[in-house]
Amino acid sequence: MTEKRKLRSQSWFGKMDKAGFIYRSWMKNQGLPDHVFDGRPVIGICNTWSELNPCNAHFRDIADRVKRGVWEAGGFPLEFPVMSTGEPIMRPTAMLFRNLVSMDVEESIRGNPIDGVVLLGGCDKTTPSLLMGAASCDIPAIFVSGGPMLNGKYRGTEIGSGTAVWQFSEEMRSGQMSPEEFFAAESCMSRSAGHCMTMGTASTMASMVEALGMGLPTNAAIPAVDSRRYALAHTAGRRIVEMVHEDLTISKIMTREAFENAVRVNGAIGGSTNAVIHLLAIAGRVGVEFSLEDWDNLGKEVPCLLNLMPSGQYLMEDFYYAGGLPVIIRELGDLIHKDALTVNGKTIGENVKDAECFNRDVIFPLENPFKPEGGIAVLHGNLCPNGAVLKPSAATPALMKHRGRAVVFENIEDFHTRIDDENLDVDESCILVLKNCGPKGYPGMPEVGNMPLPPKVLRKGITDMIRISDARMSGTAYGTVILHVSPEAAAGGNLALVQNGDFIELDVESRRLHLDVSEDELAQRRAQWTPELPPADRGYYKLYVERVLGADKGADFDFLVGKSGTVVTRDSH
């Protein structure tokens, strides 16, 4: 197939000079015949495969299926690797490297003869980083998620990624579980390829991909090992070739309406608070006006429709068999911009109009939701002038309006040292405050915001307390946990000035978080305050700490916001 419109790849492969010889000749060492350089769309397959990222370890098979589709549609597929961030493995936190991966993706696309790209992501940070990088190039792109693991099964019960970890590790600690049982439970939880099968960040972001229109219908929930995941990858390979012919670029799909749809879908699935940060960063790349306030305003009226762990009972496999994300989107009715365009060339409304629910215990109807409130509450006040977030559906209703005494931990080491101390002056009415776990402070904003409760409180049977930090929280966790406090402590936010014994007032209904300390006193404390920054005197850490934006801006680098397109003015030869 010869493209009438000259594609960007032809400025490499279409040249009949020394440079053209070089571009083609070296590629031919892979056994490629002359005709693949004839002007057909060159499709990059951006692969986050890695044996150090177990959630994405099956991606070579998925890439092969994408290639089948690309060849079949007359394209020329070229797979390339980018850095892969394994959430359960990487230190100090995979989030530190999200922006680095996005740079890898962006420059790999721009610097190479790629006309369209298929993005293969799954584990938490791989999805936003790929979308961010590709959005800064703004070429035709389609996302194929790796899919969730099969349901965990342990001794006749269903167990979910993440949520089961806390229970088993406590049982091991207390001697209720033997080491043999502990090992067996590990195997039972992760028994197939794929990412976490609870509504953690990976499943949330796969759902965001579909809600934004960047993935084919049903992309979010098909289990990783289900043959239909491979069929979807094959179809995506065919479709990206057509998208190149149609010049259907990312910015035509990820519009303001698409982001509004994604926020509402996030509420309806009880999605992770991490989606807040990632969508802000992605919108920044594509140039869409989208703010932290939008999360509160748009999500307010959206109930949670999905009965999935951690807030519910079921797992992603059940969600797929019940009909998957198209059912949720159809249920949302007029809360969705139905005319938003998606990668298959149809509107999101067209894609879901015939979606059918096969299990009403998993997906609830809008008029009789699983939980009345599904969105994200954005708080303001002198403790978080730029905002903080809380997931009301995961919080304890009795704590939503509360005044409590602060018990302060200066950093994560301080927390680990003192939280189990029987002499810690704390009870369940107190508010745990953790500092220096934000983007700059840790660095990388880890998922430590859902601090474990002090043992002496747990022994009373108390399971929740208000916790406040500039950290994030795993999508598999819950509680009355106030996250993403901005500005963060290390950047000089008032969070840095909180002291043991201060009183803090939370009123979720009025979206208020207030440190009850006078302005004069705060000014005095500030005059004596020095930032606690992590050691970061060289390399990527240094770049990160110097240039990362606050959580309220998506924690992107200041110099990465926006896009540069695909033009490279200078040749390499």
Beta carbon nearer to ligand FES, 124 or 502: 124
| Interior/surface letters 40-66, b for 16+ CB within 10 angstroms, e for the rest | bbbbbbbbbbbeebbbbbbbeebbbbb
Query: Considering the complex, what minimum distance in angstroms separates the CB of residue 561 from ligand FES?
Result: 26
Interface with ligand FES, residue 317, by CB under 6 A: no
Interface of this chain with ligand FES, residues 73 to 112, rule: CB under 6 A: 87-88
Beta carbon nearer to ligand FES, 123 or 465: 123
Query: Considering the complex, what minimum distance in angstroms separates the CB of residue 195 from ligand FES?
Result: 3
Q: Which residues pair with 483 in a beta bridge?
A: 389
Interface of this chain with ligand FES, residues 532 to 561, rule: CB under 6 A: none
Interface of this chain with ligand FES, residues 49 to 68, rule: CB under 6 A: 55
Beta carbon nearer to ligand FES, 144 or 496: 144
397 upstream amide cis, omega within 30 of 0: no
Tell me how many residues contact ligand FES (CB under 6 A).
10
Which span sits near ligand FES by CB under 6 A: 105-113, 195-203, 371-379, 488-496?
195-203
Which span sits near ligand FES by CB under 6 A: 4-12, 174-182, 193-201, 491-499?
193-201
Q: Which residues pair with 76 in a beta bridge?
A: 42
Interface with ligand FES, residue 196, by CB under 6 A: yes
Beta carbon nearer to ligand FES, 476 or 486: 476
Beta carbon nearer to ligand FES, 87 or 115: 87
Length of the chain: 573
DSSP collapsed to 3 states, 136-177: HHCCCEEEEECCECCCEEECCEEECCCHHHHHHHHHHHCCCC
Please tell me the distance from the alpha carbon of residue 212 to that of residue 259, in angstroms, as a whole number.
Answer: 6
Binding mask 235-254 for ligand FES (x = CB under 6 A): --------------------
Query: Considering the complex, what minimum distance in angstroms separates the CB of residue 290 from ligand FES?
Result: 25
Interface with ligand FES, residue 197, by CB under 6 A: no
Interface with ligand FES, residue 202, by CB under 6 A: yes
SS3 label, residue 238: helix
Beta carbon nearer to ligand FES, 187 or 417: 187
Please tell me the distance from the alpha carbon of residue 317 to that of residue 526, in angstroms, as a whole number.
Answer: 51
What single letter denotes the amino acid at residue 279?
L
Evaluated on CA atoms 85, 549, 272, 506, the torsion sign reads positive
Interface with ligand FES, residue 124, by CB under 6 A: yes
DSSP classification of residue 57: T
By CB neighbour count within 10 A (0-12 exposed, 13-18 middle, 19+ buried), where does 154 fall?
middle
- Kind of pairing between the strands at 387-390 and 401-409: unpaired
Which span sits near ligand FES by CB under 6 A: 103-111, 180-188, 192-200, 223-231?
192-200
Evaluated on CA atoms 396, 402, 406, 408, the torsion sign reads positive
Query: Considering the complex, what minimum distance in angstroms separates the CB of residue 393 from ligand FES?
Result: 20
Beta carbon nearer to ligand FES, 130 or 408: 130
Beta carbon nearer to ligand FES, 161 or 235: 161
Residue 142 has φ and ψ, to the nearest 5°, of -135, 140
DSSP classification of residue 24: H
Which residues are at the interface with ligand FES (CB under 6 A)? 55, 87-88, 123-124, 161, 195-196, 200, 202
